[in-house]
Structure 1
């Protein structure tokens, strides 16, 4: 690939480049008294009551930014379809978790307003209003932009009426052989109660009647979820570039006469129900955690409904029947704003199928070819990954740097190395065919001590993680399921190796999961180090995770739930003191979300003290930037692109006193109070320079992205023909590959 153009503003970048305002020396003393603000730091500390944005509405604005990419004609067409799918699946999870949680609070009588001043009822009303607008935009984007433009490119999503007679005949045969046998129409009458509607399943509501007279009757047909949603329509193919699809519900609807033989089909409509997916596992109880979790997973499918999506053309009486019957005997109600009339197709998350199946490179982003980090390159004389780590710390940046030649190779070499005695690792999420898990199993079978903490409460990956845990146990690994009352979210691995009569520890600490598939589309950092202090820290942390140690203090780590919030705020206060002493200061965070009120208030105090605060936030931001007298020195940016920005990076100060941290913790209550998280200080100057370059480029006026204003509205940056904005992810991809080729 061509190198990035000079205008990308990514300098400084490499190991040889100095940091902004000088090289880093983390051991330098801070101006002012270490660890505390100056004595007058409490003056005028009253902060306005309306200083927080609502977290739920902020999340919806994140999904709106995803939708903006789907609406952008400069984005490759099939990537736009992919962003429509991401928007849809994101919104599903939002309702299953966040809206469900608000409804549960109301049912329990917890009606107090949140930090933003909104009560649960007010939040639900505001969510409904914003969601209705976004769902309408989402549907219009597909029906008016994406679908017609795909059709122009010979990628068509058709209706039954669009097909030719010979295509009808082929699909009738397909229906009879492959679909009809698995369908089960369920009648609703005094002898047949309303059937259970599973969460997120696609269904047909069908009204029939006897042609000879009699009342209209209702039945439900579930659209099978083990058959592709879009059926490939056979027919003439234009040199392999054409693709024609028929939605499965269209095929079923066209054959309702076979399902209700002798009856007249009066009407049919597609609908979909979303249910509460939160689990209630009391891991303080004296019972097997896996058994308790499996029991709750079985109950998840019976959670109360929180959203009903229906075709925009549904009749009022069928809709009223669905709403009434879904309430059932659970004392649950679907308010008017819980019912969404959707124009066009329901559940556009299925567009992932089209994106993945259609072989049209001209309609997609360029394929990613991650580079092997130069310090892990084999070279003429191959060296083990452990020899490389003994030379100094190594920072990798995924997906620009290859996961397979760094993290995966680290675990695989440890498993095969006869001098390795033990491997300890956390697993929060991983893939279905994980080479990391395979390596851990091989290590245990080779007689090494392998300790794996599998977090079985990772949302929506619970069943998969239970499977991994049992597989690892059967192979001889020591498996820990997590800690009582806490989720283990930190991304850490440690290898203990016998060298020259001594034991040496090699460590990896990352911001992302040990997941080889998401490592190709998630942006994350990972530190490889043989530093004895980090090795001692991880030894202590694993003793906390697997035993009864209650250690809370570490050397190069900040560990939640005891040390991350306090450690970060302490460093904010140091920067406030530095700004008061020198007239300037700098704080830069890169996170997925920032909600924690204590941390936000500390950043407000920093802004008031004259500290420049740059926040690169992918998702939720409850902080109001640019408020006079409160946050005029705070900028908030968001970068949403082909890769999911996932890394967490914290920088305090510039020049000789800059301090950098990376790790797994976002600035949310759950991360800081209810999870085990780990941040590690980056002390290697080349790695610091790399982090400085990423932060500087992300906040540059020349870089594309979205800016947050004090009212909670996001504004997309717009370039000109003479000065187009830099796509940061594309620039990083080009720069990394050009540098390492």
Structure 2
């Protein structure tokens, strides 16, 4: 869907820079054809950085186990969505979007090669690095063969009582066709011989997903010494109970990944929820796109699986056991504080602290005094955003609450606050994005619960996901209606707010309130407005607004004036934005890009991007905030918001950036960039050839600063200092 069609369908618009012509930036005839890095390979490079954290001996070992599990989970989603989408497009003859000008089959081949290398490294890291480090710390993952007779006897009893009753062996023969294998399930392929007929048979046994993946060996005598076996190892050594009278010839573990992307043709249906529910059922039966097998699987079993699952040799991943290292999530939750990161308790933002100890803070009064810039998880989500909405729900002077919900937790106090507000008679609007990937079913459930409570629930605009993070409260103050707003970079999810780094602005600025009022009217109705003053809104004008500011910095540098561009994003792929940054660099503008994930931009190329630096920071918290900072002639123009520099964000989603105006906030943002880009900060540096190099130690071998640890201490100390005054 192009931008012109979006305008006709949505009316989303802005008077921000309507005289700016983006074609000025899009002209690319003088730029080299090979100026972009492949987005898929860049994503795999990001997941490699996650893996490097698991390899780091200076990180507590249970956190290293957690990074192994995160890597596995990330890669699963990459295959389920991105690889599956590429394969589907190739098979159906659709165009495959690529910014590197290569044939689709070559793209998939390169992904396969890189993914094979990474998966083998992942398995090796577990076996050679993390597993021995866990054992040294008193946490052993052992095999059945290493157990004593007494330990085996105890586990046999556990198996017969807790596992055997829920197992379902499925035979494969003329009377029993090859069974459906659900995506991401762990399975045992079993070949047996009938002792009477001598005939060989095949059976599939699914490892129950509702049971723990690791089973403790022996009684819990001490947390200092724990031993576990994997669930599949335990089951594999009791196959005789499942196939009595049969000779067990071979058994091997395997796992498939299916296409689980969801596409809903909204313009062909009147009921989006019903269409989406139908598509979610179809998701379970998507075609396989990856087969993981244990390295000892025999050719007969592999041949059967490849044939029945219609898998190519390129899609087979032969790995040492155990498969599916998401099992490390279970290990990483072991209650050993000495093997985790030191506990961090978020502090309350200075302006939201109660005036007296044990008194109730007045969030509205605090916001009315001045804008509040929140930085999670260093500052508490519960005592800021959550408190803001809970106070709004109970305040008799509040007349209306309007909010977007993209992802939220299952027991969300945010949703409960909206329900409480509606039940008390307030006007409440919730825009629930039910197409949020892998949260579709949960969001449908919450939408229905909100509707039953009297909340006005809407589902956004046809053809667009609503990804912006917005909350607006309208309050009657002595006969005058006043707006209180929150615009954030992250979801309204109290659980992820403790592990995702995000920014949020709480403001009583009347202009922001009017902007949000108009935007919510467009999202829920048919209003067509062109009066956003402090916002940049996608899909129509966010890219245009950023391109104009980049062009302004470019012109300033050419005129010999001070200039500078700084961006913090999760991903940067959009060619128009990248080309504009190249031109800025060619004009002499210093450009800093702080990216967590995908980066298609090549820094440091002579004559093209030698003034561009790209850094990535990964660690305890997931860097999630988006910041855009421009410094033409020393006059800072800084935005925060929900948008990444990707086509989907700029063209197919409703995204919002808000401009910061408080001098203290501008200084704080500048300080974040200074620290992130400093050579003394531990980070990864992107080279022009697409390789990421980790810089974690100085020339003397001493560890560089961990930015997240520094911010925890700095912000925590600041709060304690204020509290003593």
What TM-score comes out, normalization by structure 2 length? 0.94
Distance in 2 separating the partners of 1:663 and 1:42: 24
Aligned to 1:370: 346
Higher relative contact order (CA 8 A, sep 6+): 1
**1:325 maps to which of 299, 305, 308:** 308
1:637 aligns with 2:615: yes
Aligned to 1:192: 176
List aligned pairs for 1:579-598, cutoff 5 A.
579-598=557-576
Distance in 1 separating the partners of 2:361 and 2:713: 27
Whether the 8 Å contact between 1:588 and 1:615 is mirrored in structure 2 is yes
**1:269 maps to which of 245, 248, 252:** 252
Whether the 8 Å contact between 2:553 and 2:632 is mirrored in structure 1 is no
Aligned to 2:9: none
**2:387 maps to which of 391, 397, 409:** 409
Distance in 1 separating the partners of 2:25 and 2:208: 63
Aligned to 2:266: 283
* 1:386-426 residue CA offsets vs partner (Å, 9 max, x unmatched): 10111110000000000000000000000010000010000
1:733 aligns with 2:712: yes
**1:48 maps to which of 29, 32, 46:** 32
Going from structure 1 to structure 2, the CA distance change for 1:552 and 1:672 (only over 3 Å counts) comes to: farther
Distance in 1 separating the partners of 2:97 and 2:409: 40
**1:204 maps to which of 188, 191, 202:** 188
Whether the 8 Å contact between 1:456 and 1:482 is mirrored in structure 2 is no
Going from structure 1 to structure 2, the CA distance change for 1:402 and 1:43 (only over 3 Å counts) comes to: closer
* 1:500-542 residue CA offsets vs partner (Å, 9 max, x unmatched): 1111010000000000010000000000000000000000110
Instruction: Note the C-alpha offset of 1:166.
Output: 1.9
1:220 aligns with 2:226: no
SS in 2 for 1:582: coil
Distance in 2 separating the partners of 1:502 and 1:631: 53
Whether the 8 Å contact between 1:35 and 1:571 is mirrored in structure 2 is no
Aligned to 2:586: 608
Distance in 2 separating the partners of 1:510 and 1:119: 39
1:361 aligns with 2:344: no
Going from structure 1 to structure 2, the CA distance change for 1:43 and 1:619 (only over 3 Å counts) comes to: closer
Whether the 8 Å contact between 2:501 and 2:621 is mirrored in structure 1 is yes
Going from structure 1 to structure 2, the CA distance change for 1:303 and 1:401 (only over 3 Å counts) comes to: same
Query: How well do the aligned residues superpose, as a CA RMSD in angstroms?
Result: 1.9
Question: Which shows bigger deviation, 115-124 or 601-610?
Answer: 115-124
1:80 aligns with 2:70: no
Aligned to 1:8: none
Instruction: Note the C-alpha offset of 1:39.
Output: 14
Going from structure 1 to structure 2, the CA distance change for 1:281 and 1:35 (only over 3 Å counts) comes to: closer
SS in 1 for 2:559: helix
Aligned to 1:27: none
**2:145 maps to which of 158, 161, 164:** 161
Whether the 8 Å contact between 1:36 and 1:574 is mirrored in structure 2 is no
Instruction: Note the C-alpha offset of 1:215.
Output: 2.5
Question: Which shows bigger deviation, 584-593 or 36-45?
Answer: 36-45
Instruction: Note the C-alpha offset of 1:709.
Output: 0.8
Distance in 2 separating the partners of 1:308 and 1:83: 22
1:336 aligns with 2:313: yes
Distance in 1 separating the partners of 2:528 and 2:507: 25
1:709 aligns with 2:670: no
1:315 aligns with 2:292: no
Whether the 8 Å contact between 1:584 and 1:610 is mirrored in structure 2 is no
Aligned to 1:508: 486
List aligned pairs for 1:87-126, cutoff 5 A.
87-110=71-94, 114-126=98-110
Distance in 2 separating the partners of 1:340 and 1:718: 32
What TM-score comes out, normalization by structure 1 length? 0.92
Aligned to 2:324: 347
Distance in 2 separating the partners of 1:363 and 1:41: 51
Distance in 2 separating the partners of 1:394 and 1:45: 45
SS in 2 for 1:471: helix
Instruction: Note the C-alpha offset of 1:47.
Output: 0.4
List aligned pairs for 1:675-686, cutoff 5 A.
675-686=653-664
Whether the 8 Å contact between 1:607 and 1:633 is mirrored in structure 2 is yes
Distance in 2 separating the partners of 1:74 and 1:374: 33
For structure 1, the 5+ residue unaligned runs are 1-32, 328-333
Distance in 1 separating the partners of 2:220 and 2:165: 29
Distance in 1 separating the partners of 2:431 and 2:619: 32
Distance in 2 separating the partners of 1:603 and 1:213: 73
Aligned to 1:558: 536
* 1:92-116 residue CA offsets vs partner (Å, 9 max, x unmatched): 0000001001101111223667221
Whether the 8 Å contact between 2:269 and 2:275 is mirrored in structure 1 is no
Instruction: Note the C-alpha offset of 1:436.
Output: 0.7
Distance in 2 separating the partners of 1:567 and 1:40: 13
**1:447 maps to which of 425, 448, 455:** 425
